[in-house]
Amino acid sequence: MYHIVQIKAGSNCYLVSENDSSILVDTGLKGNERKILNACEGKNVTLIVLTHGHIDHIQNAAYLAKQLQVPVAMHEKDVALIQNNLCREMKSNGFPGNIVRFFSVLSAKYAKIQTFMPDVMLREGDQLLKYGIDGEIIELPGHTQGSIGIKLRDQSLLAGDALMNFFTPGISLLYEDYEQMIKSAERISNMGRLIIYFGHGNAVENRIWVK
């Protein structure tokens, strides 16, 4: 049985525990390090998984990996974002998306990311059993090229920013490739009954995301 703890840290981080092992999913923004470490205390964290390369999900990765003495895993297609979060254009649709994009670009321009190199490159179908969690990596490109989710055996999906619940649950407000993002959202819909854990906002039940 899984236990999932949401940690609000600029974006949502999640501590996923099964039996006596845990993984930390995403690492939030600087200033939240102590909150995250406190949540991880005594939980035998074995791995940090980054759902994608945006600053609000990776800014504390190097620090937390050192403190917890664990490897960092992400998709290779987002490694370039560690060095420069603006190396690929972020796009948006509509007024809410444009607001989120404005502040995201502003943050990416001025905030610093401590450089690191992922220890593990994740891809579709990778299993997390060696880290003590019965979960599978799902590639969900669109928001970024290397966006991933983690599907847990108990019918939960940690979707990163492939979907968002900023103002209302729906497709992501930001994207690199709109068509890919729509395909990823449709893929999630077709997974059936799931609880979706977002990178932004509270969890909801899966539904038809694209109408």
CATH of the domain at 141: 3.60.15.10
CA distance 166 to 200: 6
Range of the domain at 193: 2-205
pTM of the model: 0.97
106: in domain: yes
Sheet holding 72-75, edge to edge: 2-8, 12-18, 21-25, 45-49, 72-75, 120-122
The tally of domains found in the chain comes to 1
The per-residue pLDDT for range 133-186, each reduced to its tens digit, is 999 999 999 999 999 999 999 899 999 999 999 889 999 999 999 999 999 999
